[in-house]
């Protein structure tokens, strides 16, 4: 039998990822050693105090019922974390909704506000989940190019007026994936003014908020005056506390947006397992020392990879945040995919072509720092001896 898939499923673009996965599979089948720098998930477990909290709560037989939504303790822990780290105060009863990892909310939120044909402004290059959510809502994405010349900040004033008037939502991501750029408060102030001018919901993906280097401080969108009038911010414990598999995150901000997403989610799930929520509470309230250590770990890994590659002639930029490097492909290559395949063939190193994240990602590759220093040094050595850089 042959079953016909929906038009939405058919619209999902997986060709670049599929091509690389198949190429990698062939290499592994031949027994060729592969170092994978394409995966964007933490390679280390959560700290012991979070694991201990999870274990103790799992052993409580009273915690196996439906939670339906975020617990009061979880909401108040998020409030405490945001107040302490960003000076942001919100109503823990009406201005927060729990999500199963920020991707859950990012994919579902467009369906709560956009109808077929509505416009959603997205960063290009940007995280692939944004496009998935827009397609599920049958909306139209309008790319906001992130260019080196503009410090990888979208030029919102270049958006045509007729597009802005149709836009329901603007998605931003700083520090970003795949582009590890930081926003400025001035930029966010301009975004607030733009959103008020055109009645646009601003959605800030802040999943990498705690992985910031060189003494820099990340900026929450909600720190900016007027942000609560127009926007919301997603965050997650996946990257900050190495809790990716726990699938726990949250959306805070404008109460109308929060209320609508909460209504949608009440029809989709029955909440997150209580022991995971309680472990998250421990992380948010007692995790400051770990956050500093974890950020320093990624900063050291960044230096190992960037210094090593620069030494062999690949002059890649040193990222200020996240677990990624965003690197221009060498001269002589016409496409990101061509270079990524050549790197796999000649060096046994897997990276993600930038065009997998949007048209404006062409000419770049993304490399993840979710490997040990030893593995990153080995990757540099392999690239050095591959003959790609002479």
Query: Which H/E stretch holds residue 201?
Result: strand 201-205
Rounded distance between C-alpha atoms, residue 60 and residue 56, angstroms: 7
Is the preceding omega at residue 194 within 30 degrees of 0, hence cis?
no
Is the preceding omega at residue 347 within 30 degrees of 0, hence cis?
no
> Distance of CA 102 to CAs 46, 157, 363, Å?
18, 28, 28
**Strand pairing report for 352-353 and 249-253:** unpaired
pLDDT digits (tens, 9 = 90+) for 236-294: 999 999 999 999 999 999 999 999 999 999 999 999 999 999 999 999 999 999 999 99
Burial 46-72 (b: 16+ CB within 10 A, else e): bbeebeebbeebbeeeeeeeebebbbe
- Burial degree of 103 (CB within 10 A; 0-12, 13-18, 19+): buried
pLDDT at 256: 98
First vs last Cα of the chain: how many Å apart?
54
**Neighbour tally for 312: CB within 10 Å:** 16
Burial 142-181 (b: 16+ CB within 10 A, else e): bbbbbeeeeebbbebeebeeeebebbbbbbbbbbbbbbbb
Question: What SS3 class is residue 300?
Answer: helix
Cα pseudo-dihedral 357, 359, 362, 368, rounded to 10: -10
pLDDT at 15: 66
pLDDT in tens, the chain (390 residues): 889 888 888 877 666 777 788 888 888 888 888 999 998 899 999 999 999 999 999 999 999 999 999 999 999 999 999 999 999 999 999 999 999 999 999 999 999 999 999 999 999 999 999 999 999 999 999 999 999 999 999 999 999 999 999 999 999 999 999 999 999 999 999 999 999 999 999 999 999 999 999 999 999 999 999 999 999 999 999 999 999 999 999 999 999 999 999 999 999 999 999 999 999 999 999 999 999 999 999 999 999 999 999 999 999 999 999 999 999 999 999 999 999 999 999 999 999 999 999 999 999 999 999 999 999 999 999 999 999 987
pLDDT at 14: 64
pLDDT digits (tens, 9 = 90+) for 6-60: 888 887 766 677 778 888 888 888 888 899 999 889 999 999 999 999 999 999 9
- 244 — phi, psi (to 5°)? -55, -45
> Distance of CA 217 to CAs 23, 85, 213, 292, 356, Å?
39, 10, 8, 12, 29
3-state SS track over 71-106: CHHHHHHHHHHHHHHHCCCCCCCCCEEEECCHHHHH
List the domains of the chain with CATH numbers. 7-45+289-384 (3.90.1150.10), 62-287 (3.40.640.10)
Q: Which residues contact 314 (CB under 8 A, 6 or more apart)?
A: 327, 330, 383, 389
Question: What SS3 class is residue 138?
Answer: coil
Query: Which H/E stretch holds residue 142?
Result: strand 140-145
Question: What SS3 class is residue 251?
Answer: strand
pLDDT at 148: 94
Is residue 219 within 8 Å of 174, Cβ to Cβ?
A: yes
Question: What SS3 class is residue 338?
Answer: helix
pLDDT at 384: 96
């Amino acid at each position: 039998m042959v079953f016909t898939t929906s038009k939405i499923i058919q619209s999902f673009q997986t060709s670049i990822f599929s091509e690389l996965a198949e190429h990698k599979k062939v290499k592994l089948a031949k027994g060729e050693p592969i170092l994978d720098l394409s995966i964007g998930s933490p390679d280390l477990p959560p700290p012991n105090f979070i694991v201990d909290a999870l274990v103790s709560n799992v052993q409580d037989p009273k915690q196996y019922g439906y939670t339906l939504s975020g617990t009061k303790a979880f909401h108040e822990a998020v409030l405490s974390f945001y107040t302490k780290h960003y000076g942001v105060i919100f109503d823990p009863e009406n201005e927060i909704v729990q999500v199963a990892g920020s991707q859950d909310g990012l994919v579902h939120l467009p369906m709560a506000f956009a109808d077929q044909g509505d416009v959603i402004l997205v960063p290009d290059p940007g995280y692939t989940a944004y496009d998935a959510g827009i397609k599920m809502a049958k909306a139209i994405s309008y790319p906001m190019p992130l260019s080196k010349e503009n410090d990888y900040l979208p030029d919102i004033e270049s958006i045509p007026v007729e597009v802005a008037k149709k836009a329901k939502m603007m998605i931003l991501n700083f520090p970003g994936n795949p582009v590890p750029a930081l926003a400025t408060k001035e930029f966010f102030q301009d975004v607030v003014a733009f959103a008020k001018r055109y009645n646009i919901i601003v959605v800030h993906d802040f999943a990498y908020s705690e992985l910031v280097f060189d003494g820099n401080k990340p900026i929450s969108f909600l720190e900016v005056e007027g942000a609560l009038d127009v926007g919301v911010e997603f965050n997650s414990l996946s990257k900050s506390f190495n809790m990716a598999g726990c699938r726990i995150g949250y959306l805070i901000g404008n109460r109308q947006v929060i209320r609508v997403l909460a209504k949608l989610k009440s029809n989709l799930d029955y909440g997150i397992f209580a022991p995971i929520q309680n472990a998250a509470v421990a992380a948010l309230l007692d995790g400051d020392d770990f956050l500093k250590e974890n950020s320093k770990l990624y900063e050291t890994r960044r230096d190992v990879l960037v210094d090593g590659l620069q030494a062999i002639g690949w002059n890649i930029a040193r990222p200020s945040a996240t677990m990624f490097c965003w690197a221009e492909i060498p001269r002589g290559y016409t496409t990101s995919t061509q270079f990524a395949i050549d790197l796999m063939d000649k060096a046994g190193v897997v990276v993600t072509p930038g065009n997998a994240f949007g048209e404006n990602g062409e000419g770049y590759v993304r490399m993840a720092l979710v490997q040990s220093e030893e593995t990153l040094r080995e990757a540099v050595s392999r690239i050095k001896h591959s003959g790609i850089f002479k």
